[in-house]
Amino acid sequence: MYAYLTIFGLLSAWSQANIIRTGTGQSQDVPLPGDLLIGAAVSAFQTEGWWNKGGKSESMVDHVLHTGRLGKLGFKNTNDSDTAADSYHRYKEDIAIAKQLKFQVYRFSISWSRVLPEGDISRPNMEGVQYYHDLIDEILKQGLIPFATVYHFDHPQVLEDQFRGWQSREMIQKFRDYARFLFNEFSSKVQLWATINEPNVMCAYFGTLLITAGLVQAEDYNTYKCMHHITLAHAEAYRAFKENKLPGRVGVNTWIVTAKPNTTSIEDSFAAEVFNQLQAGSMLHPIVFGDYPELVKKYTGHLRPEFTPEEKQMLKGATDFISLNIYAGGNVAYKDSDRSSETLPFSGPAVVVENMTHGVDFISFRFADELGRRSENYPLFSVAPDAMHSALLWTWQQYNLPIMVSENGIPLQKGMDEELRLAYYSAYLRALVSAVNEFKVNVMGYIVWALIDTVEWSAGFDLKFGVAAVDYETGSLNRSLKSSSDFWLQVAEKRVVPFAEVPRSTSSPSSYQLLTTKTVLLTIFSICYTCCANFIN
Ligand SMILES: *[C@@H]1O[C@H](CO)[C@@H](O)[C@H](O)[C@H]1NC(C)=O
Ligand SMILES: *[C@@H]1O[C@H](CO)[C@@H](O)[C@H](O)[C@H]1NC(C)=O
Ligand SMILES: *[C@@H]1O[C@H](CO)[C@@H](O)[C@H](O)[C@H]1NC(C)=O
Ligand SMILES: *[C@@H]1O[C@H](CO)[C@@H](O)[C@H](O)[C@H]1NC(C)=O
């Protein structure tokens, strides 16, 4: 899942938790499309723990967090991930929860540094390989469909040391070899694969972490170069899968924020389309059509490497489906020279949005918030089910390939009203169903982030996306179902999206006050930080 900086935007969204608009005016349960798969997700780094045991080496994310130099991005205890939820040992409990809630798909990722600690295939760690065999066997034993992500941000640090990771072309072959290794090892058991999780987040947000921690100089880091290499790496891995004639389908998990034009003016429509092509098209267009979209080339071509004719051939058609991680949407206005853009307060999602539009100065973007209160400080809190509808329609219209929604979910803090979570699931799923019914979008499945509470980057254990809770507070790491988890049982048993809405003022005064104090402090901190950052720049 995505990364955070501050947590105060939450309150603005949540305290205003009035009725969430459905977009369709329906107020009853909506039948699910017949073959839509429903699942839940975890990722290796965010749940496994055991970061340097069982033969695993340090990964790039272990390393950058261990520097302890990310405080100004909001990281507190950056060693939370060292134990995480200890799913390395407790994966059977996680899978049992998925089984109990009758999910159909279990999405997980494989840790590159656990399988190939030295980054290449010459010395695999058989203990790590066996761990994933055991995990997959358990998923199958419980009757779930395994959906494996080859790589979810956590490549071995040794590849950074050797050639600076994704800044180098060498990473492409390393990744292809790693992916091929996994495909050969596990494809008799796993037939649903994603190569890479959120390339844009990897290149923009994690690049920013590397720079902030002083591991890379800003002038030596190029987000678009990273995107270029990662796109080729995905395609090489896809080709390796197909060359070996393995059974199954391969895609890539893309973090997508679709923007709508702020007004009906032709300028705003144009700017919104440029934005969408930069955010998602720059990744998806090459692997479907073989090259960057024309708008991306026109406005940012001078900042990007070009694909060679052979690469274009190799890229074209290099995906079986498109896998989308959908949380937030936004509005874009055309900004003329005498209108200055509002700077988005620094946050993970804002970093990605900004870095993916680097070099284009006519875009003015704001995260949407259908609750009517701005919360772009923490955009993923924006309850904006239209983001689901827009992302599906845009992607379908552009590429006409089956779509898997590989992530969607809401982070709440401990003690907060689980009704908001219910309303969120309900509204986003209804938006999905409406895209399928009204526009015949081919959606393969919906996977909720996350099955259990995980390490959420700068927010540590504070933000809880889980369908099930993990007791990080006492350290027992015991799992328990949340009251909202019943939603998924109803989905499975009745094959409907249960209707749920949040009535006004559901907040209890005590938790409200607690959050308000925190909010004020964090707001002050953030304003100071923004000022300093602006000053330094
Ligand atoms: C975090 O982990 C690293 C690596 O094990 C260690 O050097 C550092 O002291 C730890 N920091 C804290 C605050 O525990
Ligand atoms: C992304 O943009 C932010 C804000 O403008 C900047 O601080 C950061 O260095 C950029 N990151 C990269 C990887 O270029
Ligand atoms: C959209 O238009 C409104 C009204 O003119 C304006 O306040 C807002 O800043 C615009 N949004 C963006 C993203 O520029
Ligand atoms: C965690 O679960 C174990 C096993 O069920 C139980 O013995 C223990 O008391 C639990 N710990 C906490 C803090 O709930």
Residue 198 lies in a domain: yes
Closest approach atom of ligand 2 to CA 355: 1
**Sign of the Cα pseudo-torsion (317, 319, 321, 327, in order):** negative
Q: Is residue 354 part of a domain?
A: no
pLDDT of residue 232: 98
Whether 73 is in a domain gets the answer: yes
Q: Is residue 273 included in any domain, yes or no?
A: no
Q: Which of 476, 477, 479 to mutate to test the pocket of ligand 4 (most atoms within 8 A of CB)?
A: 476
Distance of CA 442 to the CA centre of its chain: 21
∠ CA 256-259-263, rounded to 5°: 175
Q: 405 - beta bridge partners?
A: 324, 446
Nearest to 403 by CA among 447, 441, 448: 441
Calculate Rg over the CA atoms of the chain.
Answer: 22
Write out the catalytic residue numbers: 198, 407
Count of domains forming the chain? 1
Residues of the chain where predicted confidence (pLDDT) is lower than 50: 2-24, 372-377, 503, 505-537
Q: How far is the CA of 207 from the centre of ligand 2 (A)?
A: 8
Return the CATH number at 200.
3.20.20.80
Helices (H), 25-169: 44-47, 60-66, 80-83, 87-100, 112-115, 126-141, 157-163
Q: What is the DSSP string of 321-355?
A: SEEEEE---EEEEE--TTSPPPPPPS-HHHHHHHH
> Is residue 387 a part of any domain in this protein?
yes
- Report how far Cα 315 is from the mean position of its chain's Cα atoms: 23
Residue nearest to atom 1 of ligand 2 (CA): 355
Ligand 4 centroid to residue 476 C-alpha, Å: 7
Note whether 123 and 178 are within 8 A (CB): no
> Does residue 364's CB lie within 6 angstroms of at least one atom of ligand 3?
yes
- Atom of ligand 4 at shortest range from CA of 478: 1
Cis before 450? omega within 30: yes
Cα 56 to ligand 4 centroid, rounded to whole Å = 28
> Secondary structure of the chain: what % helix, strand, coil (to 5)?
45, 15, 40
Residue nearest to atom 3 of ligand 2 (CA): 351
Residues enclosing ligand 1, CB less than 6 A? 66, 79
Task: Tell whether 46 is covered by a domain.
Answer: yes
What's the token pair of residue 266?
A: 């032709």
**Where do we find the tokens 């895609």?**
251
Question: Residue 475: how many CB atoms within 10 A of its CB?
Answer: 8
Cα(196)–Cα(233) distance, integer angstroms? 9
Question: Cβ–Cβ contacts within 10 Å for residue 336, how many?
Answer: 9
199 domain-assigned: yes
Ligand 4 pocket, residue 474 CB under 6 Å: yes
Task: Show the domain range for 126.
Answer: 30-255+381-502
> How far apart, in whole angstroms, are the C-alpha atoms of residue 243 and residue 238?
9
What is the 8-class DSSP label of residue 387? H
Nearest CA residue ID for atom 11, ligand 4: 476
Q: What is the pLDDT of residues 300-343, one digit of tens each?
A: 999 999 999 999 999 999 999 999 999 989 999 999 766 666 66
Q: How far apart are CA 369 and CA 384, in angstroms?
A: 5
Residue 15 in any domain: the answer is no
